[in-house]
Amino acid sequence: MNTSKPLWHPVIILFLTVLCALFQGCGGSDLPHDTASNPLPAEAIENLNATIEKSGDYQKIKEARLDSIKATATNPANLSDQWLAYVRISENYRQMEVDSAIAYADKALSLAPLLKDSVNILRGELAFVDALSTAGIFPPALHRLDSLKNCLKSTSDKISYWQTARRCYSYIMTWGGNNEYYSQAFRKEYKTCDDSLLKHLPESDSFHQFIYCERLVDEQRWADAQTRLEALIASLPQETNLYAMATYQLAMVHRHKGNFKDYAKYLALAAESDIKGCVREGLALPTLSNWVYEHGDLDNAFRYVNYTLEDANSGNIRMRTTTIAPIIPLIDTAIQRRSKSSRNQMIAYIIITTVLFIATIILLIFTFISLKKQRQSQEKLAVSSKKLESYVGNFIGLCSNYAARLDQLSKLVTRKIAAGQSEDLAKLVSSGKFAEDNNEEFYHLIDKALLDIFPDFVEQINTLLLPDKRISLAPDEQLSPELRIYAFVRLGVDQSNRIAQILGYSVNTVYAYRNRMRNRATDRENFDSQVANLG
């Protein structure tokens, strides 16, 4: 269960508070402010406040039920029971802890491929869509909805699908706010779901009755809507979400009929139902907080807004955050009326805090960049240091080898001359065997030095060759003359006469080897420059 609160919520609240301080008084309400002619429903408000005080108890009851389901998931009788437990946990968490709902729906989906029951798999997919849409993650939710259209076989499948789609489009319309173009597009989809549900749900079904009542409200058929909603509410337990939804719709009916006391009363009942059912996405309490504020009850307005904010943050319910935003002026108004003298201090504190926050972020960014550059410099320095050590070590090795060879040659010449074997010495030198032995040792040392400096030289040069012309060397195999020549090109020695002098080849031999390698390259003309820039 994710109990961490997003860091950006306080920033948004503070920002909106400043806006409210600047723009308060520019707007008005379409509801009357006469508390004598429209008194607040004292009993309903009192009951709601008592329910808020006991909200922790309802939370514990819900958690206890969830713990029993989690126990089934931890010690399942079979895989199907574990899958079903994950789905039920996700469905229960959807309106309470959206991150947990997503996590458990994801666990159910991970088991879905092992199940043979396609209906069960569909239920898990819909639970995941529900969790995503409640979190405001709409693109993947809509994509999954679209992919599930062809999986609907039975009437129950279709009903479950349309109920999930209906909720998703409802959330999107809430996010869309006053954007008429997009709201109308998604409202059309929302009504399509309602049409399908009305067609397939039995008329005796409570949800069928609710959808029909909601449509009556939308069509402004107030009397018929009120009669049907009152009958539906009487048949539902108060802690159910459908009770809260129906009561909220009845409140809207009374509002449009001008029965403002009943409007507030049914909002309070709907909010009470949401709290008892641990539903954190309801609209009733934020709407009621605005109403009581406009009628001068600042204490309850402040209480309801704070409760709503804490509820939304603890459950990470983005839907409720959206509905709260227009009501934030309640906080600012209460502060202004009770602490007018602290207004400038509050604004100064907000500005200083924001500036410090931004400055801290900038400082952290620059610190991170600086540390990253230092780390990269240290890595480059370490690589350069290793290469330098390799250069020095191999250079000393070559010098030592040649010193030893010269010493051997000096001793051999001295010995031959002292023994009067000058003709044998001349034959030894003219035969080339001594030079050949020296060259083999020299090439071995050169190859070792080159591969120490460029351990992946062969792999890099293969990237420049045609696929069928690439070179493969055994672990202990020496470099071929072509690779040895181009290793010197990589070192920056690209003149053929210099390479010939170093390696003891003729210039024509070096030219021939270089042409042979160019003929194997994917880009013959630029091969030499590409080798020089390897790495």
pLDDT at 45 over 70: yes
Cα separations in angstroms, 415 against 401, 403, 411: 21, 18, 6
Band of pLDDT at residue 306, cut at 50, 70 and 90: confident
pLDDT at 118 over 50: yes
pLDDT at 24 over 50: no
Band of pLDDT at residue 170, cut at 50, 70 and 90: confident
- H/E stretch holding 501 reads helix 496-503
Packed helices 55-74 and 260-276: angle between N→C axes, nearest 10 degrees: 40
pLDDT, one tens digit per residue, over 69-113 is 888 888 887 888 888 899 999 988 888 888 888 999 899 888 888
Give me the residues paired with residue 465 across strands. 521
Residue 10: the pLDDT is 47
pLDDT at 23 over 70: no
Residue by residue, DSSP assigns 151-187 as G--SHHHHHHHHHHHHHHHHHHHHHHTT-HHHHHHHH
pLDDT, one tens digit per residue, over 410-431 is 777 777 687 776 776 676 666 5
Q: Which residue has the tokens 């009943």?
A: 262
Residue 253: the pLDDT is 95
Residue 343: the pLDDT is 63
Give me the residues paired with residue 521 across strands. 465
3-state DSSP percent of the chain in helix, strand and coil, to 5? 80, 0, 20
